[in-house]
Amino acid sequence: MSESPSSSAAKPGTVHLVGAGPGDPDLLTLRAARLIGGAKLIVHDGLVDPAILALAHPAAKLVSVAKSRARHTMKQEAINALLVAEALAGHDVVRLKGGDPFVFGRGGEEAEACREAGVPVEIVPGITAATGASAAAQIPLTHRDSASIVSFVAGQCKGLTEQDWSGLAGKGRTLVIYMGVATSEAISEKLMADGLAPDVPVAVIENASRPEMRVLRGPLAGLPSLVETHRVKSPALIVIGDVTAEPEQELRKIAREVAK
């Protein structure tokens, strides 16, 4: 008996949107590590650490869709199409993304494209850059004495100067800026124009959780100079607020309060 067309059609594979975390392979979830190790096809971002890609099976096919400010290996629409095409051909796909797929990772767009095509999707969360970088640098995003509100914003987006960031930074608040290295001057000017004091402490965390990690500190007004002088490169995160003050500064501040 011949098979009906529906029974002979290939069953779609599953697209796993997997968060690779901030860089250190030890910070992967168990689910992420298992999927990477068992995958036959991995479509990965450029900022995924080589040590994480090394966990893949030697026979696995690795496809880089690296993006940078100046150059895109593959446009987002083409990435969506690639994921859908591979899945519809019956292949399971691990789509490996730095940090968490749903925090500035365009995971939502890729999940929508898959669902619209009838492709099953699984989301595997990862440690997002904000929490991974702050933990590695021992900077608490919240602190009972300093901050009870945290905001995440993208520093590399259309219409940056027109966006309203008022109220996102200041006393009792921490502002975390993703993808802000290339626009650090505009970010500094924008926040000060919105009323933030020029001496608000800032930390730039480069290569968080990796052996070459650097933590650079300074005032908000000096953010562009900090980035330029130290030649900061992505992946890097900018954290703004009192939580970024160095311990010595905090001790001096406490001493002044006690002396009053």
- Nearest partner of 176 among 141, 206, 222, judged by Cα: 141
Q: HSE-up of 93 (CA within 13 Å, CB side)?
A: 28
User: Three-state SS string across 108-161, please?
Assistant: HHHHHHHHHCCCCEEEECCCCHHHHHHHHCCCCCCECCCEEEEEEEECCCCCHH
Q: Are 39 and 60 in contact (CB under 8 A)?
A: yes
Q: Is 245 left (phi over 0), alpha (psi -120 to 50) or beta?
A: beta
Question: Can you tell me the distance from the alpha carbon of 137 to that of 139, in angstroms, rounded to the nearest whole number?
Answer: 5
Cα(253)–Cα(258) distance, integer angstroms: 9
Residue positions annotated with a catalytic role: 45, 67
Cα separations in angstroms, 253 against 146, 215, 239: 12, 21, 20
Angle between helices 107-116 and 76-88 (to 10 degrees): 40
